[in-house]
């Protein structure tokens, strides 16, 4: 006898399931973040974080462009293109990308060196490229679901601003402008993304796929910090990756 299709979870239960993935797996639980926000990172560990996270920052608008290239609905494109504008900004004022490079400068790195991407660890590259590829190749619903780690980002950004200001000389309003701005940008994105996923995941199969996409994305974030810890806290810097002293302003 053929199995009957299982019923989709209610909207509230499905949202709770997505939030539980964040509670269990989001990278706010990674020991590198405790070290960074608690003031225990050396200046070179902070620099390694800034250099490697550039890979993520610089590829976020590329993954959003990959997403947009697949969307046929102009209303969805109109909402989504804000994400690219947030990061790229205008010629004069710039956006998140430029704010990240201001952070690079504040920690003593040459912004040109950071922007060149030279020195990024292979594992970081692989993780971020996997995210861009996922968004390019998977169903749109899964691609939106993968962005829902941003549900959990404002809390970590607030913790980061507080922790960095308390513990590091380089931290001030201008060097931390990136995170401050994300506090208002991310909630808008995620309100739309969450509603989209809860509405479009209307079968259990689609809900399972969306939950798997969010889980995948938590892995993308976690793997980057594992690599950072191995390379710069434990001192096993992979061949070709940034060596302390290189790329200074
Ligand atoms: O500092 C962080 O922990 C963090 C996490 C995430 C995330 O959860 O993916 C993003 C950001 N920051 C961020 O600044 C950002 O612009 C962003 C975009 C996206 C996305 O998947 O589209 N995630 C994140």
Question: What are the pLDDT digits (tens) for 139-160?
Answer: 999 999 999 999 999 999 999 9
User: How does residue 99 score in pLDDT terms, banded at 50, 70 and 90?
Assistant: very high
Give Cα separations from 200 to 50, 190, 221 (angstroms).
Answer: 36, 15, 25
The mean pLDDT value for 91-98 works out to 96
CA-proximal residue: ligand 1, atom 2 (nearest): 153
CB of 164 closer than 6 angstroms to any ligand 1 atom: no
CB of 182 closer than 6 angstroms to any ligand 1 atom: yes
For a mutational test of ligand 1's pocket, the pick from 22, 25, 60, 185, i.e. the residue with the most ligand atoms closer than 8 A to its C-beta, is 60
For residue 2, the model assigns a pLDDT of 65
Q: Using CA atoms, how far apart are residues 71 and 193, in angstroms rounded to an integer?
A: 14
**Cβ atoms within 10 Å, residue 147:** 27
For a mutational test of ligand 1's pocket, the pick from 153, 159, 161, 221, i.e. the residue with the most ligand atoms closer than 8 A to its C-beta, is 153
User: How does residue 5 score in pLDDT terms, banded at 50, 70 and 90?
Assistant: confident
User: How does residue 3 score in pLDDT terms, banded at 50, 70 and 90?
Assistant: confident
User: By percentage, how much of the chain surpasses pLDDT 90?
Assistant: 98
Going from the N-terminus, what domains does the chain have, and what CATH number goes with each? 11-233 (1.20.910.10)
Q: Residue 29: CB partners within 8 Å, gap ≥ 6?
A: none
User: How does residue 47 score in pLDDT terms, banded at 50, 70 and 90?
Assistant: very high
The mean pLDDT value for 114-129 works out to 98
CA-proximal residue: ligand 1, atom 3 (nearest): 153
Query: ipTM of this predicted complex?
Result: 0.93
* Mean per-residue pLDDT of the chain: 97
Supply the DSSP string of 202-222, one letter for each residue.
-SHHHHHHHHHHHHHHHHHHH
pLDDT of 1 strictly over 90: no
pLDDT of 61 strictly over 90: yes
At 196-249, the pLDDT tens digits run 999 999 999 999 999 999 999 999 999 999 999 999 999 999 999 999 999 999
User: By percentage, how much of the chain surpasses pLDDT 70?
Assistant: 99
Q: Using CA atoms, how far apart are residues 43 and 185, in angstroms rounded to an integer?
A: 28
Residue 14 has, within 13 A of its CA and on its CB side, a CA count of 26
CB of 150 closer than 6 angstroms to any ligand 1 atom: yes
pLDDT of 29 strictly over 70: yes
């Amino acid at each position: 006898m053929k199995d009957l299709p299982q019923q989709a979870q209610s909207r509230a239960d499905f949202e709770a399931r997505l939030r539980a993935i964040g509670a269990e797996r989001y990278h706010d639980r990674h020991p590198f973040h405790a070290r960074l926000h608690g003031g225990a990172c050396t200046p070179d560990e902070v620099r390694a974080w800034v250099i490697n996270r550039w890979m993520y920052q610089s590829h976020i608008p590329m993954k959003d462009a990959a997403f947009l290239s697949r969307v046929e609905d102009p209303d969805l494109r109109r909402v989504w293109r804000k994400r690219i504008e947030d990061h790229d900004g205008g010629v004069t004022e710039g956006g998140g990308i430029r704010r990240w490079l201001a952070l690079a400068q504040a920690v003593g790195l040459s912004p040109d060196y950071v922007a060149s991407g030279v020195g990024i660890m292979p594992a970081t590259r692989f993780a971020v490229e996997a995210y861009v590829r996922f968004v390019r190749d998977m169903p749109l619903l899964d691609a939106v679901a993968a962005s829902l780690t941003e549900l959990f980002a404002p809390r970590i950004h607030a913790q980061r601003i507080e922790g960095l200001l308390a513990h590091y000389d380089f931290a001030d309003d201008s060097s931390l402008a990136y995170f401050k701005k994300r506090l208002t940008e991310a909630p808008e994105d995620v309100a739309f993304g969450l509603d989209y996923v809860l509405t479009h995941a209307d079968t259990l199969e689609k809900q399972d796929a969306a939950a798997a996409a969010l889980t995948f994305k938590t892995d993308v974030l976690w793997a980057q910090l594992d690599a950072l810890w191995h390379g710069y806290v434990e001192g096993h810097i992979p061949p070709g990756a940034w060596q302390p002293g290189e790329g200074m302003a």
